[in-house]
Amino acid sequence: MSTPLHWNTAYEAGDTTRGWYQAEASMSVRLLQALNVPSEASLVDVGAGASVLVDDLTALGFTDITCVDHSPVGLAIARGRLGAAAGHVTWIEADLLTWSPPRQYDVWHDRAVLHFLLDQADVERYRTTLLAGTHPGSIAIMGVFGPEGPQMCAGLPVRRYSDEAVTALLGEDFERLGSEIADHVRPDGDTQQYLWTTARRR
């Protein structure tokens, strides 16, 4: 199961050698820039873990960043890497499925959380949290394993998504803006197919 213990152990094994690692969150940043998201926008990165997205956003001048993850080890890696700049980021240790967002964000970013949710009830809880954490006009940027993505990741089974499945999950509450298939190159040179979707809350 995708538990804090599982991810704590995974991160302790060395974040930069794991399959999910990327030196730069280039796709996420490119999509943000393509959508002309201003640096003053509030952004929540769900399942942030040790992701370098927070580094890239800080370098771009974003000032209202929230990172949510249920692994304290993952968040600690990111905080330590940022140094003094970490004090300008909101860090929340919480299970996304039981988390009640304290505010609504201009941007909801998710790289690789949704595809770990195999139970449909958990997917529905994810959607409930997504709606609670966004407002009309909010942008959602979501990266999940695509139709030809892996069936396992980090020792856990995953769900592969089609464009239609992501659109159905977003439902009538979101206007789909676009989607793109892109391969993530793992540190070991292997690739994983991702499906990236952008949408705007109605």
- Specify whether the CB–CB gap between 175 and 147 falls below 8 A: no
Question: What crossing angle do the helices spanning 72-82 and 4-12 adopt, rounded to 10°?
Answer: 40
pTM attached to this predicted model: 0.94
Distance CA(66)–CA(92), nearest Å, equals 7
Task: Inform me whether the pLDDT recorded for 169 exceeds 80.
Answer: yes
User: Where are the domains positioned within the chain?
Assistant: 4-12+23-201
Question: pLDDT tens digits, residue range 13-38?
Answer: 667 777 677 989 999 999 999 999 99
CATH of segment(s) 4-12+23-201: 3.40.50.150
* pLDDT of the residue at 40: 98
Q: C-alpha angle with apex 133: 147 to 57, nearest 5 degrees?
A: 75
Selected residue with higher pLDDT from 16 and 52: 52
Q: Where are the alpha helices (DSSP H) in 41-182?
A: 53-59, 72-82, 120-132, 163-170
